[in-house]
């Protein structure tokens, strides 16, 4: 760490400076609310909650006494399906004017030392697609891709699901209507064919066939009779 750079856990007196840093990061990333809210009061409260939560930590870096960067992280685990403890980095940001002085490295060193003490075996980070600076920095220090994140607002997702459900209902109703129509058509054609058949002649043929069968059966010689020539 270079002289004049100090990294430490944030205190209550640091909250206003941390809010400024978060808003700078939001403006640079260009992803808006995906990164953080622009409401200063709410953002201040969120930072205070993270810093005071069990396993949460807010680190602030100063350069020559002035706030220069921050790192937001928390320990995750063990959980229901794993015994592992990992460090999740929510955000890391260094002001443009003091970059390339080792401040980002110093923030990471402080975070990983704390994670190692807590028994965390791995470090994860979830940089947003628009946060190119954070992504480049993490790649340089050895972070590799592990998963892809996608984003949608709750309202937009609900609208899309409702539209898809409505479309499926229309398709199913149309298929059911076509199936019923086909069945009705087949029955109508069967009735027409039956009506076109010569029912009287058909009954007569069937009656003659029955008489012939009976006559043949009555004229067969029994098994006990003999023939003479």
Best CA proximity match to 98, nearest among 63, 74, 148, 54: 63
Q: Which domain holds residue 160?
A: 152-192
Cα–Cα distances in angstroms (integers) from residue 175 to residues 167, 170, 211, in the given order: 12, 9, 50
Query: Which CATH number does the domain housing residue 78 bear?
Result: 3.40.630.30
* Per-position pLDDT tens, the chain of length 229: 567 899 999 999 999 999 999 899 888 876 666 677 788 999 999 999 999 999 999 999 999 999 999 999 999 988 888 888 999 998 899 999 999 999 999 999 999 999 999 999 899 988 766 677 788 888 999 998 877 667 777 888 888 888 888 766 655 655 555 666 676 777 777 777 766 655 544 444 444 445 445 544 544 454 444 444 3
Spatial neighbors of 64 by CB under 8 A, at least 6 apart, are 4
Among 93, 125, 149, residue at a domain's last position: 149
Looking at the fold, whether 145 and 133 belong to one and the same domain comes out as: yes
* 3-state secondary structure at position 59: strand
């Amino acid at each position: 760490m270079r002289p004049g750079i100090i990294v430490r856990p944030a205190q209550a007196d640091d909250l206003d400076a941390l809010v400024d840093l978060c808003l700078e990061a939001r403006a640079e990333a260009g992803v808006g609310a995906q990164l953080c809210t622009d409401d200063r009061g709410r953002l201040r409260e969120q930072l205070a909650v993270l810093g005071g939560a069990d396993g949460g930590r807010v680190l602030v870096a100063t350069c020559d006494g002035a706030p220069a960067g921050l790192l937001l992280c928390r320990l995750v685990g063990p959980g229901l399906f794993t015994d592992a403890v990992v460090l999740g980095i929510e955000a890391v940001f260094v002001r443009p004017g003091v970059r390339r002085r080792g401040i980002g490295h110093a923030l990471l060193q402080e975070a990983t030392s704390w994670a190692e003490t807590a028994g965390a075996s791995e470090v994860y980070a979830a940089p947003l697609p628009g946060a190119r600076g954070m992504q480049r920095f993490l790649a340089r220090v050895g972070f590799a891709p592990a998963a892809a994140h996608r984003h949608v607002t709750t309202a937009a997702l609900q609208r899309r699901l409702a539209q898809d459900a409505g479309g499926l209902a229309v398709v199913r109703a149309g298929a059911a209507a076509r199936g019923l129509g086909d069945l009705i058509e087949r029955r109508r054609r069967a009735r027409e064919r039956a009506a076109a058949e010569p029912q009287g002649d058909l009954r007569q043929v069937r009656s003659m066939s029955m008489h012939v069968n009976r006559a043949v059966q009555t004229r067969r010689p029994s098994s006990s009779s003999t023939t003479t020539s």
